[in-house]
Structure 1
Amino acid sequence: MTTAAPPHRVTPARVLHSEWHKLRTLRSTWVNLTATTVLTVAMGIGLGAAYDGSGEGGMDPVMFVLLGTQFATINLGVLGILATAGEYSTGQIRATLTAVPRRLPVLWSKAAVLAAVALPLTLVTNLLTFPLAQTFLAGTDQAASLTDPGVLRALAGNAAGLALLTVLALGIGALVRSVPLAIGAFIGLLMIVPEVLAMLPYAVVDDAVRYFPGKALEALTTARPAPEAASPGAALFAMVLWTAVTLAAAAVVLRRRDV
């Protein structure tokens, strides 16, 4: 008499491996990540080569070189949104949640996998872009080296901020469950809402705007923070808080709403 093989238990490691497998087997993932690196490096080198030394209004040298991370912000945000809202649009989320009925391990695993991919990718990209761009900026007001005060901190801070934005976008995708709407909400939170609020004639609003994700990322990307900007530590804390609150809200919705 033969006995049936026991079913595989759902463990955090297996859920994590499953989410990593889904992410790495999608062609769009590699296209997105490659485009993020290429655009950041190419724009950094292009800006360095085109700069004539006439001055950029006192722009921070790290911020100047990493202007290409504006593309990275959108690319990685879309990647995060596709990891959650993309599954809802294709219906794959039903199979995922059937395999993991507790649901929340899926969300945590997606967030962990995306952060583990985004952080080293953006950090290596930044460490490659900055010295390459600086080969064209010697003798200008934008000249700087990796050993200058605040430079490495700004390069790492930018990478940490982009990784957090990727996870934030994942949370938005889980909340909205629609790729177009999630992309609109992500871009609105980063670029539109802060600019609209900044037009209001209230000091308290101006103080709050500097802690919105897009502004906080700018503060993290400067070697010499501007007086009116948030400090790097406060900016990082604000981004962690934005991401944590969004993930917490996504977790509540995931537990309470049907697929």
Structure 2
Amino acid sequence: MSTTIPGSTPADVSRHFAVRDVSLGGAIVSEWIKFRGLASNNVLAGFTLLLLIANGIAMPWAYVFRDRSSPKADYDAYPEMIVDKTGYVGIVLAVLAVLMITNEYRSGQISTTLLSVPRRTPVVVAKAVIIAGVSVVIGVVSSAVGFAVAPAILAGGGYGYVLETPELMRLVLGSGLYLTAIGIIGLALGTIIRNVVAAVLATIVFLVIVPVIPQMFSEYGTEITRFFPIQAGSLLLAPAGTDPMGPWIGSAVLLAWTLVLFVVAAITVKRRDA
């Protein structure tokens, strides 16, 4: 049987009874339990994996059955076609990351979470670790399946491509890193905005619509667009020489976006009330 002190507040209770501060490891375990326990998380993660695998199979299949005499289709098969839609499909993971944090604010569960982890920053870090782990697995598995199946599909039409081991590693690991960055951007925006609908819309607008706006109003719009997350990150999975920035500068730009938004999110959590 529990005893309640009349007129007491959570702050009063914390002065009478020590609150155990959960470590970062404990916070990660807790977030993983919460992630697995929510069906929508499993559905969205599984849906993203299936979409990426489907893209990896559909792209070489479409190449084989496309009219090869068409000038627009007259190009050699290239390995990057297997992963070239990763960024846009990854928006589903960004939405998943938004829901991981905003649903807690909507339900009020965030108060319990922050009571268990008073320092607060580990909460955001733990959620980022979970979304990163899920994203890496989805990116690596889906791209690996694509690269395993694509050669057989292309060979059926008499086509193929050359793929050296370093390039294969860049594309497979890069898929996981690309998805991780997009997911953490979604988590950061969700943490900053808090409202479920507003945060989901803001994430989609930021990743998809905002990069197009400079092209509508500036002659340098195309150059500006290259520095937004989806566009910069896509260079990590693009054929060599397609952009002067190259894969590593592009991934550095994506990383910069991710770190800045994540730091802002962590500061927001520390300074705001639950």
Q: 1:141 to 1:97 in 2, by over 3 A?
A: farther
**How many equivalent pairs are there?**
253
Of 36, 49, 60, the residue aligned with 2:61 is: 49
Q: Choose 191-200 or 60-69, whichever is displaced more.
A: 60-69
1:80 shift after superposition: 0.8
Spell out, residue by residue over 1:52-108, the C-alpha distance to the aligned partner (whole angstroms, 9 max, x if none): 352647587344222453563122111111111121122211111122122111011
Paired residue for 2:225?
A: 209
Counterparts of 1:30 and 1:7 in 2: how far apart (Å)?
Answer: 32
Q: Choose 193-202 or 214-223, whichever is displaced more.
A: 193-202
Counterparts of 1:80 and 1:196 in 2: how far apart (Å)?
Answer: 25
Q: 1:129 to 1:37 in 2, by over 3 A?
A: same
Q: How do 1:1-259 and structure 2 match up within 5 A?
A: 8-51=20-63, 52=65, 54=68, 56=73, 58=75, 61-69=78-86, 72-138=89-155, 143-147=160-164, 150-203=167-220, 205-227=221-243, 230-259=245-274
1:29 shift after superposition: 1.9
1:113 shift after superposition: 1.7
Residue 187 of structure 1 aligns to a residue whose secondary structure is helix
1:234 shift after superposition: 0.7
Counterparts of 1:19 and 1:195 in 2: how far apart (Å)?
Answer: 35
1:227 shift after superposition: 3.2
Does the aligned pair in 1 maintain the 2:97–2:183 contact within 8 Å?
A: yes
Q: Choose 107-116 or 65-74, whichever is displaced more.
A: 65-74
1:239 shift after superposition: 1.1
1:147 shift after superposition: 2.4
Does the aligned pair in 1 maintain the 2:79–2:163 contact within 8 Å?
A: no
Does the aligned pair in 2 maintain the 1:189–1:213 contact within 8 Å?
A: no
Task: Give the % identical residues.
Answer: 30
Does the aligned pair in 1 maintain the 2:236–2:250 contact within 8 Å?
A: yes
Q: Higher Cα Rg: structure 1 or 2?
A: 2
Q: 1:60 to 1:188 in 2, by over 3 A?
A: farther
Amino acid at match of 1:157: G
1:48 shift after superposition: 2.2
Amino acid at match of 1:11: S
- Structure 1 unaligned spans of 5+: none
Does the aligned pair in 2 maintain the 1:123–1:156 contact within 8 Å?
A: yes
Name the TM-score, length of structure 1 as normaliser: 0.87
C-alpha RMSD over aligned residues: 2.6
Q: 1:144 to 1:59 in 2, by over 3 A?
A: closer
Residue 199 of structure 1 aligns to a residue whose secondary structure is helix
Q: 1:113 to 1:152 in 2, by over 3 A?
A: same
1:6 shift after superposition: 7.5
Name the TM-score, length of structure 2 as normaliser: 0.82
Counterparts of 2:115 and 2:197 in 1: how far apart (Å)?
Answer: 25
1:122 shift after superposition: 1.1
1:28 shift after superposition: 1.6
Q: 1:201 to 1:8 in 2, by over 3 A?
A: closer
Counterparts of 2:76 and 2:192 in 1: how far apart (Å)?
Answer: 37
Counterparts of 1:70 and 1:109 in 2: how far apart (Å)?
Answer: 23
